Amino acid sequence: MTTESHYYPVFLNLADKKCLVVGGGKVGLEKVMPLLRAGAEVTVIAKKFVSDFFQLALCHPQLHLEERAYHGGEAQNYYLVITATGKKDTDYSIYGECHEKKILVNAADYIPGCDFILPARFQAGDIQIAVSTSGSSPALATWLRDRIEEDLGNEICLLAEMLKQARAVLKENNKMPSKDRWRALLDEGLLEELRQGNVEYVQRKVDDFLKENLSFE
């Protein structure tokens, strides 16, 4: 049996899903933020919370804080569990519960207690980019994420919105182009044109692409 982990990259739909985070420190806080952005219903259990948790709870009614010890067996009530207690014995015990009940679980900084790992993530509008080193170097993953974010710039959001609108029209008319045709459009330097402020030019290029494919037989 191999001891090397090979992860399958996937984006989970956690909208309205019940998720549990065990641990009220800064690491736990870092894990909670993406869950809330994904629309999850998040419960955090900890004997003590850093103050930022209480401020966050005021802004997010789907965040529930329970200032107490974790009770064995609670994990079975959740779709996804993240442990961030900093105590390997506790984290591994919770992993064992989740593994038995086939519940997705991640133990922060403890790869053997993870069904999944959390990548360094960049989000701008509808664009999400996740970078992972399979747990070998989170610092490198973060560095790569920052480089990608810097290289793409904010203009990627505008380009994504233009393409989203065009795709919706093409899909409605059952005229969806091939991936190669989309790639050819993107290879015309649209992102660079947006960086230079040529928004109207890029919009015309997208509109021309739309008209061409709507009339394409």
- pLDDT per residue as tens digits for the range 183-205: 999 999 999 999 999 999 999 99
Indicate the range of 26-40, 125-139, 178-192 predicted with least confidence.
125-139
Burial grade of 181 (CB within 10 A; 0-12, 13-18, 19 or more): middle
Name the CA radius of gyration of the chain, rounded: 22
**Predicted confidence (pLDDT) at residue 95 exceeds the cutoff of 60:** yes
11-14's contacts with Cβ under 8 Å and 24+ in sequence apart are: 11/128, 11/130, 12/38, 12/80, 13/38, 14/38, 14/39, 14/40, 14/79, 14/80
Tokens of 195: 């960086």
Strands 104-107 and 80-83: what pairing?
Answer: parallel
